[in-house]
Structure 1
Amino acid sequence: MNIQHLDKTRGHYLLLGTAVGIGSGIVVSLFRLAIEKLSGLVGRAYHAFHSQPTWLVLWLFVSLVAALFVGFLAKSDSDIKGSGIPQVEGQLRDELSTNWFSVLWKKFVGGVISVGLGLFLGREGPSIQLGAAVAQGLGEKIKANSSDTKILLSSGASAGLAAAFNAPIAGLLFVVEEVHHNFSPLVWLTSFTSAIVANFVSLSIFGLKPVLHMGQIQSLPLHYYGLLLILGVLLGVLGRFYQVILLKMADWYHLLPIPEQFYGLVPFLLVIPIGYFWPTTLGGGNQLVVAFGEAIPPLATLLFLFALRFVFSMISYGASLPGGIFLPILSLGAIIGAIFGMISVAFFGMDLIYVKNFVIIAMAGYFAAIGKAPLTAIILVTEMVGSLQHLMPLGVVALIAYLVVDLLGGAPIYDSLLARLLQQKPVKLQSKKVVLEFPVFADSPLDGAMVRDINWPERCLLTSLTRGEQELLIHGDTIVRMGDTLHILTDNRHAGEVFRHIQQIAK
C-alpha cells in the first residue's frame, strides 16, 4: 500500500516536472532567441556606424530610451532587478513574495533589452527566474500547497538553467548544491524531469551543438598538473576580489546624483564606445570563449580584454539591470585561463595546444570560487563545452579555488546578494503557515542530539523528520541523525529568522 502511494506520488511529480519543463523551455528558449536576434542586429549596427558615424547620434537616443524604459520597468517591479537568482532563493526560504506574471513579462522584456543591446550581462540568471515564474504560475493554477510550490519553484529554476545553456545535469545540481544545499528525493525527481524536458525543447530550437563548443580538446598530461595548483590559488584570490567588488558596486552607484531606477543610464551610454571600437566583446561573452577555440589572442590583448570585461561587467551588473553574472564570470575565467596558459607556454615550455585546456579549466575554477558551488561549476562547463577530456583537472582546480575563497572568508555570491536584497527591501508578507525543510549534515551538532536537548527558536514547531524515504513523527527523546531532513512548522513572516537561528545551532 505504501509502495503504491509512493509510486502515485512520484508519478504526480513527474507530470508536474514535465509541465514545468515544457512551459519553462518554451519561455526561456524564446528569451534566448530574442537576445540572439537583437544582439545580431546590434552587431551589424555598430559595423555600419564606421561608414555612417552620424548614425551614432540616433543610436545614442535609442540607448537613452532603452535605459529609461528598463528603469521604469524595474521601478514598477523591483523583483526583476539583477540576475533573479537571489529572488528565487528568497522565495524558497519564505523571505520574499513575488508576482509571477509581472516578473515573467517584465524580466523577459527588460532582460532582452539589457543583454541584447550589448551590456556585459548573462541570460542565465533571468532564465532561472523566468523558469521559476512559470512554475509559480502553474502552482497558483493548480492551487498547490506551500511545500509543492517550493518543489515547483525548484524545478522551474532547474529548467531555466537547462534551457539557457543546454545543461540539464548542471540545472539539477545548481538547485541541489546552490539553492537548497541538500538532497531531497522529490525535489531531485521533479527538477531533473523539468530540466530534461526544457533541455529537449531548447535543443529542438537551437540544435545539438554545445553552447561553448571549442573543437577538439586534448587530455592534459600529468606533468602539467603542478600548474593547476598555482591556477587554483590564483582563481581563488581573484574570485574573492570579484565578490568584494561586486558587493561594493551598489554603494558606489548610490553616490550618483540620479534616482536609483535610472542607474542603467551609465552602462547603456558607456557601452556605445565599447561597441564602436570592440564590437566582438559585447554581451555575456560566450562568443569570446568560442573564439578561443579557434585562436588564442596575444598576451597583451588578453590582459586588455580582462580589464575591459571585469570593469564593465561590474558597471553593468551594479546598475541593477535585469541580467545575470554566470556568463560574465565564465568569460572572465576563460580569459584568466588563456592568460595563464600563454604565460605557461612562454616561461614553462608548455605546448601551445594545451592553452585551450586552461581556458576550460579556469572557467570552472573561477565560477566555483565565486559561487562556491564546485560540482555545479564542473558539470556546467563540461556540458557547455561538450567534452569529457578535462574532468580531473577541473576537479583539482575547482576544489583548490573553493578552499582558497573559503579561507579568505568568501560566502556564496548569491547568498550574499540575497542578504543585501533583504536589507534593502523589507518585505511585508501576509501571514500563513509554512513548513521549512532543514538538512542535517555529518559535521552538524544536531547529529546524535535528542530533540528535547536542542535549543529550538521561538515561533516554530518541529513536526516530523524524513529519514531515507520514511517520514517519522517525533517526540522528545527522538534522536536526530545525519542525513535526516527536519520539517519545521512556522509562520512565513518569521521563517527567515527561524531558518537562520537553526543554521546557527547546526554550526
Structure 2
Amino acid sequence: MRGLILICVTATLAGIVIGFVGGAFRWCLQAADDARTDFVDWTHHLPGPGWLVPVAAAAIGATLAALIVRWEPLAAGSGIQHVEAVYRGDAQPPMIRLLPAKFIGGVLAIGSGLVLGREGPTVHMGAAVGAEAARRARLPAAEVRMMQTALGGAGLAVAFNAPIGGTLFTLEEVTRSFRLKTVLATVFAAVAAVGCSRFILGNHPDFHVEPIGAPALAWLPLFVVFGLLTGCLGAAYNRIVLWFLDNVARLVRIPKVAKAAVIGAIIGLAMFVYPLAVGGGDPLTQLILGGHHIVLTVVVGYLLVRFIAGPLSYSAAVPGGLFAPLLALGALWGLLFVGVFDFVWPGNVDALAIPMALVGMGAFFGASVRAPVTGMVLVIEMTAATSVAVPMMAATAAAVLASYLVGSPPIYDSLRERIPAEEALPPSGAQAESDGTGHGSAPEGGFAADERDGEKGV
C-alpha cells in the first residue's frame, strides 16, 4: 500500500514537471509556426532568388539540431521506440540530460520546417523526467522502467492535449497490458501534466471543429472501403519511412550533420513553394477541419509533398516524431477521398468532407502505429467531435485489418529493431535486479519481451 502511494505521488509530481515543460515546448513550436509563415511570405517579396533564404534557414535549423544529437545521440528521432525498449528491459532508462537536448533540438528541427511531430520529443522528455523522479524516489529498477513509461504517456497527453489518449498509448502501445500500478501512475501523471500544460496553452481542444451531425448509416460501407484503402496507404507510408532510414545513409555518404543540412535545404525549398506542406501540420489540419475550401489539385500536392517529406525528414535523425504528421496526412487523405468520390457521385458527399477528414486521422494513425483505440481517442479529444465515432471505428478497424493483411508491422516495432546495439544493450554491470542469466528482470507488467511480442505484427 505504501509503495503504491509513493508511486502515485511520484508520478503526479513528475507529471507537473512534464506538463510545464511540454506546454512550453508546444508554445515554442506554435510561435515558430507563426514566424515561419510570415518569414516565407516575406521571402516571396524579395528581389532575386528569394527561395534561397528559406532553403538556407531550414538547412541551418536542421544542422543545429543534428549538432545537438551529436552531443546527446539518444535525442535522435522519435524516442518512442526507446521508451518501449526500456519498458521491455532491452535498454537503460534515459538520463535527465536528454530533456534539454530533445527540447532545444525539437524546436530547431520542427520549427525550421522539417515534417516531424512534437509528440516524439514530449514522450521522450516525459520518460526522462519519469525515470529521474523514480530514481530520486529510490524506486526499484523495474518501477523506474514503469515510471518512465507512465510519464512517456503523460508526455503524449501533453503533446495532443489528450489525457485519455496519452493513458491509452501507454497501455495499448507500450505495455500492452493493464496493471494497477501502471494504470494509476499513468492516469495521475497524465492528469497533472495536461492540467499544467493548459495553463500555458489554454483550456480548449487543439482543433476547433464546428458541430457536425453524425453521417447517415447508409454511408457506413463507404467508410469501410475508405478504411481498407487507408490501411494500404498506411502500410506504404511505413515502408517509405523504413526505406529512407535504411538507404539515405547509404545513398548519401556524407557526415550525419551534413546529411541533416541537405535534408533541411530540400524541406526549405518545399516550404517556399507550399508553406503549409511542411512542419508538424497543425495549421493545415485546422484549415481542413474548419471547412476551408482547398482546390483538389492543391490537396493532391500537399498530400504528395508530406507523404515524402515526412519520411525524408525523419531520416535526418534529428529530434522529432511521426504521430502529428500522420494525423495531417489522414485529414488530407480523407479530403481527397471525398473529392474523388464526388466526381463519381456529384453533389451527394459534400457533407462528408469534414467527417471523412476526422475519420482519416484516426484510421491512418491506426494503420501505421497499430494502436487503433489510442488513435480514435486522440482524434476525438483533440477535436471534441464525437458524432463520427461509429464511422471512425468502422474505418479504423478496416484500416488496421488491411495493414495487417498486407504484412506491414507496426511502425514502432520496426523502429525499435533498428535501435543501435550500443543504445539498446544495458552497460555491463548495470542490470539492476538481474535474474542471474545476464538479462534484466521482466518489466512490471510481468511478461517477458518475447511473450508480449506474440502479437507483434497484429
**What's the TM-score, normalizing by structure 1?**
0.83
- Give how far 1:66 is off: 2.8
Contact 2:263 2:316 in 1 (8 A): yes
Q: Would the aligned equivalents of 1:124 and 1:165 in 2 still touch at CA under 8 Å?
A: yes
What do the CA deviations read for 1:359-409 (whole angstroms, capped 9, x no partner)? 000110110010000110110110011111111111111111111111112
User: Any idea what SS the aligned residue of 2:292 has?
Assistant: coil
- Mapped to 1, the partners of 2:440 and 2:275 lie a distance apart of 57
| Post-superposition offset of 1:10 | 3.7
Change (3 A) 1:458 1:503: farther
From 55, 71, 80, the equivalent of 1:76 is: 71
1:499 maps onto 2:429 in alignment: no
Decide which structure has the larger Cα Rg and report it.
1
Stretch of structure 1 that moved more, 370-379 or 130-139:
130-139
Aligned to 1:405: 403
Q: Which residue of 2 aligns with 1:130?
A: 125
**Distance change in 2, residues 1:502/1:169 (3 Å):** closer
- The 2-side partners of 1:282 and 1:352 are apart by 27
CA–CA separation in structure 1 for the residues paired with 2:455 and 2:327: 35
Instruction: Classify 1:502/1:383 alpha carbon distance in 2 versus 1 (closer, same or farther; 3 Å).
Output: closer
> Does the C-alpha gap of structure 1 residues 63 and 352 become closer, same or farther in structure 2, counting only changes over 3 Å?
closer
Q: Residue 143 of structure 1 aligns to a residue in which SS?
A: coil
> Closer, same or farther in 2 for the Cα pair 1:228/1:26, shift >3 Å?
same
1:283-325, CA deviations, whole angstroms, 9 ceiling, x for partnerless residues?
A: 1111111101222412222111111110111111111121111
In the other structure, the counterpart of 1:30 is: 24
Match of 2:97 among 99, 102, 116: 102
Secondary structure of 1:263's partner? helix
The structure 1 residue matched to 2:282, chosen from 271, 279, 286, is: 286
Contact 2:59–2:263 (8 Å) recurs in 1 = no
Give the C-alpha shift of residue 430 in structure 1: 3.0
Which residues in structure 2 correspond to 1:216-365 (within 5 Å)? 216-254=211-249, 255-292=251-288, 293-349=290-346, 350-365=348-363
1:500 maps to a residue whose letter is D
Contact 1:79 1:98 in 2 (8 A): no
1:218 and 1:354 in contact (8 A); partners too:
no
Aligned partners of 1:123 and 1:327 also within 8 Å: yes
Q: 2:369 is matched with which residue?
A: 371
CA distance in 2, matches of 1:183, 1:412: 20
SS of aligned partner of 2:208:
coil
**What is the alpha-carbon distance in structure 2 between the residues aligned to residue 342 and residue 505 of structure 1?**
37
Q: Cα distance 1:279–1:460, how it changes in 2: closer, same or farther (>3 A)? A: closer
CA contact (8 A) 2:43 2:54 kept: no
> Matched residue of 2:418: which SS?
helix
Q: Contact 1:20–1:155 (CA<8 Å) still a contact in 2?
A: no
The answer for the alignment partner of 2:36 in structure 1 is 42
Distance 2:424 2:454 in 1: 22
Deviation at 1:98, TM superposition (A): 5.2
Going from structure 1 to structure 2, the CA distance change for 1:190 and 1:225 (only over 3 Å counts) comes to same
Q: How does 1:376-455 map to 2 (within 5 A)?
A: 376-422=374-420, 427-433=425-431
3, 8, 11: which one aligns with 1:14: 8
Is the contact between residue 462 and residue 486 of structure 1 (CA under 8 Å) also seen in structure 2? no
Residue 200 of structure 2, aligned match among 192, 205, 211: 205
Taking structure 1 as reference, are residues 178 and 500 closer, same or farther at Cα in structure 2, changes over 3 Å only? same
- The equivalent residue for 1:187 is 182
User: What are the superposed Cα offsets for residues 36-75 of structure 1, whole Å, 9 maximum, x if unpaired?
Assistant: 1122222211111122246665655544433332222112
Query: Which runs of 5 or more residues in structure 2 are unaligned?
Result: none
Structure 2 equivalent of residue 147 of structure 1: 142
Contact 1:85 1:125 in 2 (8 A): yes
Q: What is the aligned-residue identity percentage?
A: 27
Q: Does 1:161 align with 2:111?
A: no
Q: Distance in 1 between matches of 2:392 and 2:270?
A: 32
Conservation of the 8 A alpha-carbon contact between 1:84 and 1:128: yes
| 1:140-190 C-alpha deviation (Å, 9 max, x unpaired) | 222221122122112211111111111000000000000001111110011
Shift of 1:199: 0.8
> Quick one: distance in 2 between partners of 1:121 and 1:376?
19
Structure 1 pair 221–112 and aligned structure 2 pair: CA distance change class (3 A): same
TM-superposed CA distance for 1:272, in Å, is 2.2
Give the distance between the partners of 1:313 and 1:61, measured in 2 at CA.
19
- Deviation sequence 1:262-292 (CA, Å, 0-9, x none): 3211221012222222222231111111101
Separation in 1, partners of 2:55, 2:294: 31
Say which is worse superposed, 323-332 or 348-357, in terms of deviation.
Answer: 348-357
CA RMSD of aligned residues (A): 2.7
Conservation of the 8 A alpha-carbon contact between 2:90 and 2:426: no
Alpha-carbon separation, structure 2, partners of 1:315 and 1:64 = 14
Q: Deviations 1:409-455 (Å, cap 9, x if unpaired)?
A: 2211111101011458563523245569xxxxxxxxxxxxxxxxxxx
Contact 1:457 1:501 in 2 (8 A): no
2-structure distance, mates of 1:267, 1:130 = 25
Write the mapping of 1:462-481 to structure 2, written as runs, cut at 5 A: none
Structure 2 CA distance for aligned equivalents of residues 68 and 430 of structure 1: 33
The partner residue of 2:85 within 61, 85, 90 is 90
Label 1:326 to 1:345 Cα distance change in 2 as closer, same or farther (>3 A): same
Where is the strand percentage greater, Structure 1 or Structure 2? 1
Change over 3 Å in CA distance of 1:146–1:339 after alignment to 2: same
Q: Give the Cα–Cα distance (whole angstroms) in 2 for the partners of residues 51 and 138 of structure 1.
A: 50
Kindly indicate whether structure 1 or structure 2 has the higher relative contact order, using CA contacts under 8 Å at least 6 residues apart: 2
CA distance 1:388–1:197, change in 2 (3 Å): same
- Aligned AA (2:232): V
